[in-house]
Structures are given as C-alpha cells and as structure tokens.
Amino acid sequence: MRDLCASSRVHLKGAFIEHIHALNALRNTEHISEVIEVRTKAELDRIDALIIPGGESTSIALIAERCGILDDLRAFARTKPTWGTCAGLILLAKTAIHTKKGGQKLLDALPVTVSRNQFGRQVDSFTIKLASPCLGDEVPFDYVFIRAPAIVSIDDPEVEPLVQLPPGHGQTEASEHGLLVAVKYRNILGTSFHPELTNDTRWHQYFVRMALAVSD
C-alpha cells in the first residue's frame, strides 16, 4: 500500500487549517506522506486526495472559476478521492436548492440534491452526539452543524447513506423524517457537518482509508 499525499484546502478560504491539523495527527498511524494546501493546478496535480472545506460555497466556486481551477477541480472530484465538508458538500453536488439568486456553479460530481443552509442561520448552529456504525465502533461522535446544508435526495442508487439525523432537525418538512448528513459515492465522501472542529479524528481516518482503498 503506497502512502497518500493529501490536501486540505481548495485554493481559498475555509476551515482548512483544522483539517490540516487533523490529517497531521494521523500521519504516525495512517499512510499519509504529506499534507499540503492547494492553490494552483500544479499543486492539485501533486495530490492523491482532496478535502474541500467549509466556508461559503458560492464564493469558493466564483474564486476558483476566476483563477482558472474550477474545471480542474471538477475533473479531480470525478476520478480521485474527494471529501466535501459543509460548503464543500454543496460544491460537490449535482443539484443544490435554496441557493442565492441566480444559482451557483457546482462540480457536478456527487449525485445528490443538497439544500443550502438547511439548518438556518449562524444562531441556529448546534452539536449532537450520534452513534456512527460507519466509523467502526459504538462511541458517539460530536456532530457540529454551522449554517449547514443537508442531503434531501439521493439521485443515484450507488450513493451510500452513512449518517442520518433524528427527526426534527432542520427547516423544512423533510426534517420530520430525519435528514441525511453524510454519504459516500465511489471516490467521494460528502458531509454536512464540521468534524475538523472536534478533537475526534475518526472521520478523517475514515476518509484516508477510503482514499487509500480507491487509490489502490
């Protein structure tokens, strides 16, 4: 098994420093050779796996397009291990609803429909402990939601649901049935929450191991 060169940033703003810390914390136990920030196509070409962090999805797309890297990100996400957290999830999706007027550019890589700001404004942020069988143990994970999106429909049978909230969280009728907040599709991991804002690195470990399996 070869080591992984991973990135925790896409060229611009977002909670990338926390992702870097989480990945570096795993370097002694997982097959991670290097963690770098990506700002250019040349840097994108160096890496084996990519994390698109939280932030502002419309701004991420606009700046990436102006800098000439949007199409490169789109091509990368369709073939190589890519994880989108919060805004990164929106950017990866094929369809986004409740976007700003005029819509926004997407990478069109993850066949789901995402509802932007599904959980309300900053003041509506919350944390919830949930058991997560996909992480391989029964210890609950602290899920942090900050102006978070949610996955309101799966648009391809290959998309695997990973985590669903209990009913009652969210701003639409879909919330009554429990919203999906994590899915996996081929080489892509999409999550609504911010695992990098906890001291628990199990989701980063999950992605690294998923990326190594895909790369092999």
Cite the active site residues. Answer: 86, 194, 196
DSSP SS3 for 213:
helix
Please answer whether residues 123 and 116 qualify as being in contact, where contact means their C-beta atoms are separated by less than 8 angstroms.
no
DSSP per-residue codes, 48-64: SEEEE-SS-HHHHHHHH
Q: What is the 3-state secondary structure (H, E, C) of 118-171?
A: CCCCHHHCEEEEECCHHHCCCCCEEEEECCCCEEEEECCCCCEEEEECCCCCCC
Residues 6+ apart with CB under 8 A from 182: 134, 161, 162, 163, 189, 190, 191, 192, 193
- Token pair 């819509």 is found at 103
Contact 56, 189 (CB under 8 A): no
- Give the C-alpha separation, 193 to 117, whole Å: 12
